[in-house]
Amino acid sequence: MTTRPAALVFDAYGTLFDVHSVAALCDELWPGKGARVSQLWRAKQLEYTWLRSLMGRYEDFAHVTEAALRYACAALELPYDDAKRARLMRAYLHLATFPEVKSALGRLRGIELAILSNGAPAMLQDLVTNAGLSGAIPHVLSVDEVHIYKPSPRVYQLAVDRLGVPVKAIGFVSSNGWDAAGAKAFGFRTYWVNRAGAPVDPLGVAPDHVIGSLAELPALVSSGA
């Protein structure tokens, strides 16, 4: 019989926090181009984490995020200077949570909760504090401890080591299909928050559960699924 997980570990960017909430500021800085900037910025941000992991050339997520922003502006031929960079990087510390996040977390009482993120420690601390989630999620873990990005198994092992919970007793929650696949391959029970209704990537592993939003998570977890 399946029991509910002893701990739930959440991805941060795209799962709890809406990375595209910066699009409004992007549109203020470059009218009519905000959505395109935000999309390309995020795509390159992820691409650079994978490339740096493969090359063995780790830089923390703040550097990766700024480099991706510079690329997006260059590719779209948009004017970019230190003032714009500073405003947008500050905005990344104030990303909006998805509407259902606080309610869902409040319904997960009795389960150890943690964040496991690509984010640099200082970025994550500010982000969680600014969103008012410090009391809701006591453990915030960063890949900076192992100097490699998801989906490296070394990252997921951080949750096991720091929480002191067996692999099979940890549920991992992410809106990123590739992240859910990495966590499933590592051995976690996985909950993919598939807000976009995307197909499962054919990577040889599939998430245990696919949900449309975090609002569905508490009931699913409580049932032991």
Give me the active site residues, please.
Answer: 11
Q: What does residue 193 show for φ and ψ, rounded to 5 degrees?
A: -90, 95
Q: What is the C-alpha to C-alpha distance for residues 207 and 191, in angstroms, rounded to an integer?
A: 6
Q: How far apart are CA 60 and CA 92, in angstroms?
A: 14
Cα separation, 202 vs 3, in Å, equals 28
Contacts of 22 (CB under 8 A, 6+ apart): 38, 41, 88, 91, 92, 95
User: Whose CA is closest to 7, among 162, 219, 210, 178?
Assistant: 162
Q: What would the two tokens of residue 39 be?
A: 């999309």
SS3 label, residue 170 = strand
* Rounded-to-10 torsion of CA 71, 76, 77, 82: -50
Task: Provide the 3-class DSSP secondary structure of residue 186.
Answer: helix
Residue appearing with tokens 């490296």: 152
